Each structure stands twice: as structure tokens, then as C-alpha cells.
């Protein structure tokens, strides 16, 4: 998601933002596994299994404002991928813009790569400011939230936001399971990073809070998922397992000379899109890897297992 930088007013730590009235009280600092938002304290899943990932954020103020956006909606798990400012959690601008969400900001995890941020995640959605010719399926925030609700029943999920200036790279987008696009005013669609986080967090909050009434009825326009079908789903594959599968499959396709490394075109991107629509289970990943292994053996190529 490409977002405009945040303007920080020094000396105004309690600066009122448009969404200030959403602020929640009595939030527990140990938020990795709990949320003490009174509305969600008794709910499982969603609020505690959802992490928000900011990839290479440039401005400390945006990081602080994003932490505030999460706390107002009852979320608390913030992950920062290689932020431009070291120790951004203690930066004065970030703290000022967090405006009471210091606990969420201080507890943010900092990791070097998106792969690290998605460790243990079985489903992720990337926010993008533009239509992509290739890549995962794309949804509105509301439809994406409905899909996220179903996926959260199976384990850890993540929402991924790009750098304020350049957004997410194609590689980062393809690592995710789906895309979300905020249908803003086409004449002026520039959203601040924290505003984008707020929109997605709000939609997730609404669907998580109402899902207890009927967890089988998807929101209007939302895709049907395995969770909504009669057939029970198996254990979902984690992000790192899926990435290893793609690396293994790519090696096999090269061995077959079906894929030309010098001119790959969009083959792997299209395959990623195809598999992203299915919501891969761990057993299915193992099947694909078994096929890749035998292709490599039959073609006389070494199978190193591609970890």
C-alpha cells in the first residue's frame, strides 16, 4: 500500500485524530495472546491470531499512529519489517502519534524480512494501492475481512502493508495469499499508512464481533472458503511451507524444461495465483512436493529437498 507520510506535531502527544472516539480503555500490555477490550475479551481466534505487518515503514509517526489504530479496534499484534528508523518503538514521534497506545508500540516485533514476519502464518493478505495484473486474488476490505474471519479459525493470519513511498514489491505481494484494495476516490486515492491500517482493522473488528451470531454466512461479495463448506478442512500449511513448495516445484519445472529460468515469463506468478485460490492444506503441500521430488529423480537431477 502506498501511503502519504504522516505529519507529526511536536508537543501535542494527545493530538486528536478523526478516529479518536474509537479509543478503548484498560488494554493489557501482554497483548501477544490476549486482548482486554471488553467487547472481545471472551472471544477466541481473530483478535489474538491476527498480526499486522508494516514492511519497511519510513516515518516513526506512521508507526505510532498505526499502533493507535490497532488498539482502538481491539488488536495489538504489530510486526515491523526492517523499519528505516532503528528502535522506532522508542522514537519520540512514534510515541507522540501512538497517543496512549504505547503498549502496542513498545511490544511491536522487529524482524529483518517479510518471510520472518510471516513465520507461523498460514494465510496473509497484502494491501495494495493499485490493480495487479498478476498475483493473488483481490478483494475489497469488507470481503477480505470475511475471508480473514474464516481463515483465523485455522490459525495465525496476517495483514501486510507496504512502505509509504513504494508500497509492496511484487515479490512481497506474491508471498501473500490474497490482496485487498481500498476503493478510494480515484481522483485522490492517497491514504496515510495508519489510515489504511485503520480501515482494515475496523472491517476485521466488525466481522469478528458479529461472527459469533452466524459463522457460516459470508459477507456480501465474500468468497466461499473451506471453512464455510460441509467438508472439514485439514491443517493449513504455513507460509514458510508454501514457499518451500514453490521453490521445490520451480526446480522440478526447470528440470522438465517446462520453465526456462532465462525467460520465466509469468509462469510461477500464475501458479502462485492458482494455488492461492485453494487455501492449501499441509497434506496438499506435501503431495505437490512429492510430485516435484519424483520429477527431479526421474529426470536425473539432484533433489536437495529445498528447505
What pLDDT digit, counting tens, does each position of 62-99 carry? 999 999 999 999 999 999 999 999 999 999 999 999 99
Above 90 in pLDDT, residue 130? no
Q: How many residues does the chain have?
A: 307
Above 80 in pLDDT, residue 39? no
Above 70 in pLDDT, residue 199? yes
Helix%, strand%, coil% for the chain, nearest 5: 40, 10, 50
Q: Where are the beta strands (DSSP E) in the chain?
A: 3-4, 50-55, 78-81, 109-111, 123-127, 138-139, 157-161, 178-180, 191-192
**Region 204-227 average pLDDT:** 59
| pLDDT computed for residue 38 by the predictor | 58
* Least confident segment among 21-35, 200-214, 281-295: 21-35
Euclidean distance between the first and final Cα of the chain, in Å? 30
Q: 6 pLDDT band (50/70/90 cuts)?
A: very low
Q: 273 pLDDT band (50/70/90 cuts)?
A: confident
Which of 20-29, 50-59, 258-267 tops mean pLDDT? 50-59
Q: Percent of the chain at pLDDT above 70?
A: 74
Whole-prediction pTM: 0.70
| pLDDT computed for residue 18 by the predictor | 35
CB atoms within 10 A of CB 94: 28
pLDDT tens figures, 227-253: 444 445 678 787 788 878 878 888 888
Asked if 138 and 253 count as a contact pair (C-beta separation under 8 A), the reply is no
Which is higher by pLDDT, 149 or 219?
149
**Region 127-146 average pLDDT:** 80
Amino acid at each position: 500500500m502506498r501511503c502519504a507520510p504522516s505529519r507529526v506535531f511536536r508537543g501535542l502527544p494527545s493530538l486528536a485524530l478523526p478516529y479518536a472516539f474509537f479509543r478503548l480503555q484498560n488494554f493489557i500490555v501482554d497483548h501477544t495472546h490476549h486482548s482486554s477490550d471488553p467487547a472481545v475479551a471472551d472471544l477466541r481466534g481473530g483478535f489474538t491470531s491476527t498480526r499486522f505487518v508494516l514492511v519497511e515503514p519510513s516515518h516513526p509517526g506512521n508507526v505510532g499512529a498505526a499502533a493507535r489504530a490497532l488498539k482502538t479496534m481491539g488488536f495489538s499484534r504489530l510486526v515491523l519489517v526492517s523499519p528505516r528508523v532503528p528502535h522506532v518503538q522508542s522514537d519520540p514521534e512514534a510515541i507522540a502519534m501512538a497517543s496512549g497506545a504505547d503498549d502496542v508500540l513498545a511490544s511491536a516485533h522487529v524482524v529483518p524480512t517479510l518471510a520472518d514476519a510471516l513465520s507461523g502464518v498460514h494465510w496473509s493478505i497484502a494491501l495494495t494501492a493499485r490493480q495487479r495484473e498478476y498475483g493473488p486474488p483481490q478483494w475489497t476490505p469488507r470481503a477480505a475481512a470475511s475471508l480473514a474471519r474464516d481463515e483465523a479459525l485455522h490459525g495465525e493470519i496476517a495483514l501486510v502493508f507496504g512502505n509509504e513511498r513504494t508500497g509492496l514489491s511484487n515479490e512481497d505481494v506474491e508471498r501473500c495469499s490474497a490482496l485487498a484494495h481500498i476503493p478510494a476516490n480515484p481522483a485522490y486515492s492517497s491514504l496515510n499508512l495508519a489510515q489504511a491500517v485503520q480501515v482494515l482493522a475496523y472491517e476485521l473488528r466488525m466481522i469478528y464481533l458479529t461472527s459469533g451470531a452466524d459463522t457460516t454466512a459470508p459477507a456480501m461479495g465474500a468468497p466461499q472458503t473451506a471453512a464455510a463448506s460441509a467438508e472439514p478442512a485439514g491443517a493449513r500449511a504455513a507460509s514458510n511451507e508454501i514457499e518451500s513448495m514453490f521453490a521445490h516445484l520451480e526446480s522440478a519445472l526447470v528440470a522438465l524444461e517446462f520453465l526456462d529460468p532465462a525467460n520465466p515469463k509469468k509462469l510461477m506468478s500464475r501458479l502462485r495465483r492458482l494455488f492461492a485460490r485453494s487455501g492449501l492444506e499441509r497434506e496438499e503441500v506435501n503431495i505437490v512436493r512429492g510430485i516435484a521430488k519424483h520429477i527431479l529423480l526421474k529426470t536425473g537431477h539432484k533433489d536437495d529437498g529445498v528447505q
